[in-house]
Each structure stands twice: as C-alpha cells, then as structure tokens.
Amino acid sequence: MSGDVLYSNVTFCANGSATTAVKQDEVTYAEVKTARAPSAQTAPPPGAPGKQDEVTYENVGTAGSAPAQTALSPEQPVKAPSIPLPYRLAAVCLGLLCAVLLIAIIVLIFFYNGNSQNISKLVKELDHLRVNYSNLTAAHNGLEVDFRNLTATHNKLQEDFRNLTVSYSNLTGINDKLQNKTEILQSLISKLKKHFSVDQYCPVTDQNTLEKDCRPCPWGWELFSTKCYYFSTDALSWNYSRTACRKLGADLVVINNRTEQEFIQKQIKGGEYWMGLSDAAAEGTWIWVDGTQPIECFRYWMKNQPDDYENEDCLATATPTADQITSLNNWNDNKCELPLLRICEGSSLPLS
C-alpha cells in the first residue's frame, strides 16, 4: 500500500452565488485513483490498462431549491466492474469440458450405430465359442476318463509283463534242464543202439517194400512183463556166458519175484542154465550181477544147496528130482568153469 496514490477533488456550490450561472449545470466530480506497485503475478503487459488507470466518478451536487443532478462527461466512458481471472478460467475450462463431452457422446453414438452389426456378430461368435468350449470340456473329461483307463491298462500290462518275464526265466531254466536231459537221453540212445540193434527189434519182413515188423523183443527172445529173455542153445562158462549176454545189450538173468521164477522154470523145462548169481567175490555172500542180494523169500535153492562142493561159486538151474518135479526150487551152485546154457535178460522196447 506504500505506492498507492489517492486523488480527491471536491467542489461545493452555494445557492445564490454570483459565480454560478446555471444551478442545474452544477456538477461535482470526485476522482479516486489507486495505484499499486506492480508485482510478478499481477504485472500487466505493456500498453494494457492497469488497475491504476481505473477511474471512478462520483458527483455530489448541492442546490438550495433544486435536486442535485449528476452529469457524466461525454468524453470519458464508464467502465463496468471486471470479473476476477480465476473465475473466468474456470468458466472457460467448464465450457471446453462440456464441448469435449458433447463431441465424445456424438462420436460414441456414431460408433455404436456403426458397430451394432459387428457387436451382434461378436455376440453370435461368443455363443458359438461357448458351445465349442462346452464341447471341448466334455471331450476333455472323456479324454481324462480314457487316460485313467489306459493308465490302469498300462499298469496291468506292466504287471503281466513282469509275470511273463518271471515265467520266461523259469521256462528258460526248465528248457535248459530239458536240453541237458535230451542230450543225456540221446547219449543213452546212442549207447543202446550199440547194444540193441534196431534190426533185431524191427527186422525187414518184405524186401521189396522194406517193410519192418517191430516187436518189443528181438527175434528169438521171449517177452515177460517188461523184460526180454534169451535162452541160448550153445554152452559157455559162467563168465563167457555173461560176456555173451552183454554183447546183446543184456546180462545174466536176475530173479526178483515168484512169477519170474515160474516163467523161467517153465521155459527151461528142466535144463541147466547159468543165472546171474555168484559168491565168487566173498564165499557165502551171494550177489546178483546188478549188485543186489537175493531177497530171502525169493530164494529157490534145491534141498541141501548151496553146498560149495569143490569150490562151486556160480548159480545154475538143475534138473529137479522126481520128488521136486513140481517144485520151484531148482537153484544149484556149480563150478563157474563148466560149460552150460545161459539165460540173458534185457529190457523190452516200448512201442506205445
């Protein structure tokens, strides 16, 4: 306020004054000027009217009989009060905002009208996508069920595979054992072929067709139970008789039961034949050629035999006496060097 200047001019006119020509023309002017120091915020631009140029005119008239009249000089204009700047800026901003909103509303209306068809199309596509989504969800659920089923099947197949692997290992072991047994059997067959000629069991009966007639026992042998028996027609010592039987794939006969003894006695018809029993290894200890001792109840010695007369160590059948003609007891110890007939015993050939 230190830079403010105040001007005031007051004129008073009295009634009946000689200096006043026309009372109605008396005018009082009052002028107040306020000048503020310019600041950085309110300094007006050059040439623009400032607040210091604002002028207020007041007239005060004093007349004795007539009312006071106020007259404005036609040369000086009357200025209306000015609106503060912040309010004007706010009004301008509101106007601009309204204009922008109006333009935006118009644009949206045109945009909506122009894109209503696109929106309808998008809605249809959305519905189609929803249907596809539902179908895909159902398919996904079905695939999950199939996946669980396949997983269960896969687990079962793995378990079956493990079981089959174990079974395969077991079968491989069994196969190896069977191969070993097969090799053993083939070796036995080879050995048997050396002792049992196929031609003996299956001789050719028709030379034109080479047809063979196979029998359980070789030709000239007798079948009893599962054994084949050969009753020789030539006489040899006990040792040579055993060697002859072995060449045929057999050995001297071994009596194991009563029926076999009955069969032997029926075949020899009282003749003297070597059998496979001897005590040459230890006197008094009779041993069959298969390494076994004769069973007590299946010993068929003649009366007072064996007597070991003159070192008799080998068993042979003897011609029964008149009182023993029906008896099975026809065993007799004899000298092993004597030439006698022989009974060979071998296995029969299984044909079934």
**What's the pLDDT tens digit per position in 149-177?**
999 999 999 999 999 999 999 999 999 99
| Beta-bridge partner residues of 9 | none
Tokens of 231: 């009753």
Q: What is the pTM of this model?
A: 0.44
Q: What mean pLDDT is reported for the chain?
A: 77
Answer with the one of 139, 174, 189 that is the final residue of a domain. 189
**What's the pLDDT tens digit per position in 66-107?**
444 444 455 555 565 677 788 888 888 999 999 999 999 998
Q: What is the three-state SS of 86-129?
A: HHHHHHHHHHHHHHHHHHHHHHHHHHHHHHHHHHHHHHHHHHHH
183 shares a domain with 291: no
Q: What pLDDT shows up at residue 35?
A: 44
C-alpha to C-alpha distances, 328 to 112, 264, 321, nearest whole angstrom = 133, 10, 12
Tokens of 137: 């969800």
**What's the pLDDT tens digit per position in 286-305?**
999 999 988 877 888 888 88
Residue 206 lies in a domain: no
Residue 137 lies in a domain: yes
225 shares a domain with 168: no
Q: How far apart are the first and last CA of the chain?
A: 150
DSSP letter assigned to residue 281: S
Number of domains the chain contains? 2
Residue 115 lies in a domain: yes
| DSSP H or E run through 56 | strand 56-58
What is residue 186's three-state secondary structure?
helix
Residue 312 lies in a domain: yes
134 shares a domain with 248: no
Which domain range does residue 136 map to? 93-189
CATH code, domain with 324: 3.10.100.10
